[in-house]
Amino acid sequence: MKKQSNAMWGGRFTKQPDELVEAFGASVAFDQRLAPYDIAGSIAHITMLAKQGVVTLQESATIVEGLEAIRSEIEAGDFVWEQALEDVHMNIEQKLIERIGPVGGKLHTGRSRNDQVALDLHLFTLDEVATVDTLVMELQTALCDCAEHYFEVLIPGYTHMQRAQPVLFAHHLLAYAWMFARDRERLDGVHQRADLMPLGAGALAGTSFPLDREWVAKELGFTALYENSMDAVSDRDYVIEALSALSLLMMHLSRLAEELILWSSTEFGFIELDDAYTTGSSMMPQKKNPDMAELVRGKTGRVYGHLLGLLTTCKGLPLTYNKDMQEDKEGLFDAIDTVKNAVRIFTGMIATLTVREEAVSLALREDYSAATDVADALVRAGMPFREAHEVVGSMVRYCIEHKKPLTEISASELKQFTELLDVQTIASLTPAALVAARHVRGGTAPAAVREQLRLFREHYLSRE
């Protein structure tokens, strides 16, 4: 084992690494996750070397056969990862040499671990960003389906966590669908920036072997190449950008989590979350806790931390590759896993929640959300808005003091404040009427929300 610890790079050294140094520097415990991409990149690389006459066709075929066998061994869970071999790349290469002999050493011709790990991370990021995008689209679908199912339901809308104006429940849900649409656009941007093929950059300066980088890029599904070898091995912008996009996505999930937590509380009582997405108390039998929503809210900080960590890691690095950059993987892996699970859980929560329509209706009857429309009615009758605002504010204060809804003010009471309105006008300002009046494009009127739903499904939920 000690011989293996520097077999791939140790010719210049006379000592084995200190055991703590070996353990501290090894990344194979987590970067073994890149094995499928490492093998795919190696197969493309050796096939290209044969095409270019750098190795023979027989050597290439032998190496490819050995790599395929190792791939099967890894997929079966039978591969033994060695910490002494540091990382996924050296583990696979050493196993290849053990399996097929010295010819396996030709695989690394014209290649460095620097451009090799960059390639693996690009391929991983491209795959995972596409997966997250699909999962977010499924969440958007659940939001749209829930919006349609409860389309007739009105809920209080809030500003400053105070009741403001009534809105369609569907309108509220669609606000999150649009947030997630922007998240998907950012993920698409990550995909574009990750779609650059770094292999062929070598350690930093390229290679003297006649590589066909364009062929390798096409073989691996890339649409473009890095045009600067130093940039190719040192660039981690796409990883930082991925963490940034994932952080924003988690922020949006956390905002929705907060609303689900509030709405499902006894104080609000607007919704009930399905039992499958809640937990109980070990002490209090009556409890039904929104733990999954709370966990997503809590794990948002975890993803933020990975973003800040990598930004800090990269902020002072000179060109090109530095060992600091080994820190690019664990945070990305964890953020990807956290986000994928969070989105899946939210899709299930939204698809199974129940709106308590009676509780929502009662909340609407008890607020003063018609006040803006009363002021608007005074404006239409000729009063300047600022004066109307003052008059209606006084009316609201009076109704609060006398414990009555604004829409139930009597004719004699109304005359204390204005002669421009009658009680029938005010009484007609029901929550449904208030919502229906917001028929501007993007507003909460039913017709506007129907059109919003149609546009959203057409532009964001269609794969065409």
247-261 pLDDT per residue, tens: 999 999 999 999 999
289: β partners: 279
More confident residue, 18 or 460: 460
| Per-residue model confidence (pLDDT) at position 109 | 98
Segment 437-457 shows an average pLDDT of: 97
From the candidates 281, 394, 402, 439, give the one annotated as an active-site residue: 281
Given a contact cutoff of 8 angstroms between Cβ atoms, the answer to whether 399 and 406 are in contact is yes
User: Is residue 11 over pLDDT 90?
Assistant: no
Give the pLDDT confidence of 395-437 residue by residue, as tens digits: 999 999 999 989 899 999 999 999 999 999 999 999 999 999 9
Listed in order, strand segments (DSSP E) in 45-160 are 154-159
| Per-residue model confidence (pLDDT) at position 464 | 53
Segment 5-23 shows an average pLDDT of: 72
The whole-angstrom separation of Cα 64 and Cα 277 is: 46
| Per-residue model confidence (pLDDT) at position 6 | 53
Residues of the chain with CATH 1.20.200.10: 114-362
CA distances from 438 to 166, 222, 281, 445, 449 (A): 10, 48, 43, 5, 10
More confident residue, 295 or 1: 295
Segment 107-124 shows an average pLDDT of: 97
| Per-residue model confidence (pLDDT) at position 59 | 98
| Per-residue model confidence (pLDDT) at position 282 | 83
Give the pLDDT confidence of 197-219 residue by residue, as tens digits: 999 999 999 999 999 999 999 99
| Per-residue model confidence (pLDDT) at position 209 | 98
The reply to whether 191 belongs to the active site is: no
Mean pLDDT of the chain: 94
More confident residue, 369 or 139: 139
Segment 14-18 shows an average pLDDT of: 77
Give the pLDDT confidence of 295-306 residue by residue, as tens digits: 999 999 999 999
Given a contact cutoff of 8 angstroms between Cβ atoms, the answer to whether 336 and 299 are in contact is no
Segment 114-123 shows an average pLDDT of: 98
Share of the chain above pLDDT 90, in %: 90
The whole-angstrom separation of Cα 124 and Cα 266 is: 44
* DSSP SS3 for 162: strand
User: Is residue 184 over pLDDT 80?
Assistant: yes
Segment 306-316 shows an average pLDDT of: 97
Provide the whole-model pTM.
0.93
The reply to whether 389 belongs to the active site is: no
16-109: CATH architecture? Orthogonal Bundle (1.10)
| Per-residue model confidence (pLDDT) at position 441 | 96
Residues of the chain with CATH 1.10.40.30: 363-460
Domain boundaries 114-362, CATH class: mainly alpha
Share of the chain above pLDDT 70, in %: 97
**DSSP collapsed to 3 states, 10-62:** HHHCCCCCCHHHHHHHCCHHHHHHHHHHHHHHHHHHHHHHHHCCCCCHHHHHH
User: Is residue 4 over pLDDT 60?
Assistant: no
Segment 171-189 shows an average pLDDT of: 98
DSSP string, 374-405: HHHHHHHTT--HHHHHHHHHHHHHHHHHTT--
| Per-residue model confidence (pLDDT) at position 428 | 93
363-460: CATH architecture? Orthogonal Bundle (1.10)
Residues of the chain with CATH 1.10.275.10: 16-109
**Among 113, 115, 112, residue whose Cα is nearest residue 231:** 115
pLDDT band for position 20 (50/70/90)?
confident
